[in-house]
Amino acid sequence: MDNQGLKASSDIWVFAEQKNKRLAGVVYELLAPGRRLSDKLGGSLASVLIGYDVSDLAEELLACGVDVVYKVDAPPLAHYNSWLYPRILEKLVKENPPNSLLIGATYAGMSLAPALAARLGVGCSAHCVNLDVDDHGNLLQYVPGFGGSLMAIIISPYSRPQIATIKQGVFTKTESKPGIKKGMIREVAFEFTGPIPVKVLEIKQEKHAGMPLEKAKVVVAGGAGVGSKEGWAKIEELAALMGGAVGATRPAVDEGWAKESQMIGQSGKTVRPELYIGVGISGDIQHTVGIQDAQKIVAINNNPKAPIFKMADYGIVGDYKEIVPLLIEAIAQEKN
């Protein structure tokens, strides 16, 4: 594939996903790496804001230090629309191609990014956990992969712009400071005719039961080693006793012990609790990228060679069926 795609500038764009007149959390997370990369390339940091009645959000982006906000504001754009958004971005990108476009790996982002990449015929990586650029302006897209402790670096050397979706929770949020506004807003007219084959009929907010994983001080996570639904109840009991939330690895979700929203790792959540306890978890990179920033890590596993022990502050070798009940008892006593 030779020189596919467009002649690009050195700018970095961040897609400013918004919902109900608020920017998605991941947008704030992408601004710092966006700034770092654009500085390295010698370009500027721009953001694309698509929505309806979103002037306040454009100001908010400027207050976060963005140089240019491309704003497309029209009633049909109020919510993410998988037909309109990729088309609008395609037009913007073709008019003023950036070096790279960073998109949060949210549900909307995971629909938008590949669709846009296909429309442009350019490369797109998924669920990056780190980003950098090389001397040729190639975006280095770090994606945990292939099991074990391997990290793949993906590049799209011959196509521009480069598109990456970035996992939520890996970068630190930029705070808005109204005093620092120096960028500008570029209104882009919404010109679209023709039928729109996808319509949003209704948005339903759901109250999630229990403590959100990302906010919990203590996370007790279980893996394939837990072995059964009954065993899983012990994980939940330990978490409840410590006032924590329950997390899971993918096999535990596949077994139906835990919900998908409880999955931690590359395709799940990133957690930064004060304490993470992993029970019956081997410590595969696809899981551990989601826990590496925990302040303390405790692992319980019956295999002394389990990789998770290497990254644990405190490891206990043994059958969790014996250890966890003893631990529950000991904590309950300590609390009294």
Partner 1 sequence: MKPLHIIVCVKPVPDFRSPVEFDQKTKTVKRGNVATVINPLDKNALEAALQLKESFGGKVTALSMAPPFAESVLREVLAFGADEAFLLSDPAFAGSDTLATAYVLAQGVKKIRDFDLVITGAASTDGNTAQVGPQVAEHLGLPHASFVTQVKRHSEHSLELTLKTEEGTILAEIDLPALITVSREINEPRTLGLFGIAAAAAKPLHILGSSDLEVDPERVGEKGSPTRIADIREVSFARKSELHEGTPEAISLLVKKFREWGVI
Ligand X SMILES: Cc1cc2nc3c(=O)[nH]c(=O)nc-3n(C[C@H](O)[C@H](O)[C@H](O)COP(=O)(O)OP(=O)(O)OC[C@H]3O[C@@H](n4cnc5c(N)ncnc54)[C@H](O)[C@@H]3O)c2cc1C
Q: How far is CA 273 from CA 212, 303, 327, in A?
A: 11, 25, 19
Residues 190/73, Cβ–Cβ less than 8 Å: yes
Buried/exposed 67-77: b ≥16 CB within 10 Å, e otherwise: bbbbbbbbeeb
Tell me whether residue 301 is annotated as binding.
yes
Around Cβ 143, how many Cβ atoms within 10 Å? 21
- For the bound state, the minimum distance from the C-beta of residue 201 to partner 1, rounded and expressed in Å, comes to 4
Tell me whether residue 286 is annotated as binding.
yes
Sequence-distant (≥ 6) Cβ neighbours of residue 38 within 8 angstroms: 10, 11, 12, 44, 45
- Which of 42, 121, 147, 243 contacts ligand X by CB under 6 A? 147
Q: Please give the Cα distance from 10 to 43 (Å, whole number).
A: 4
32 binds partner 1 (CB under 8 A): no
229 binds partner 1 (CB under 8 A): no
Tell me whether residue 125 is annotated as binding.
no
Dihedral of CA atoms 327, 329, 333, 336 in degrees, nearest 10, equals 110
Tell me whether residue 281 is annotated as binding.
yes
- For the bound state, the minimum distance from the C-beta of residue 114 to ligand X, rounded and expressed in Å, comes to 15
| Site residues (CB under 8 A) for partner 1, limited to 243-282 | 250, 254, 260, 266-267, 274-275
- For the bound state, the minimum distance from the C-beta of residue 119 to partner 1, rounded and expressed in Å, comes to 5
Which tokens sit at 90?
């395609």
- Which of 178, 195, 209, 336 contacts partner 1 by CB under 8 A? 195
233 binds partner 1 (CB under 8 A): no
141 binds ligand X (CB under 6 A): no
271 binds ligand X (CB under 6 A): no
What is the phi/psi pair of residue 41, to 5°? -85, -15
72 binds partner 1 (CB under 8 A): no
111 binds partner 1 (CB under 8 A): yes
- Which of 265, 273, 277, 309 contacts ligand X by CB under 6 A? 265
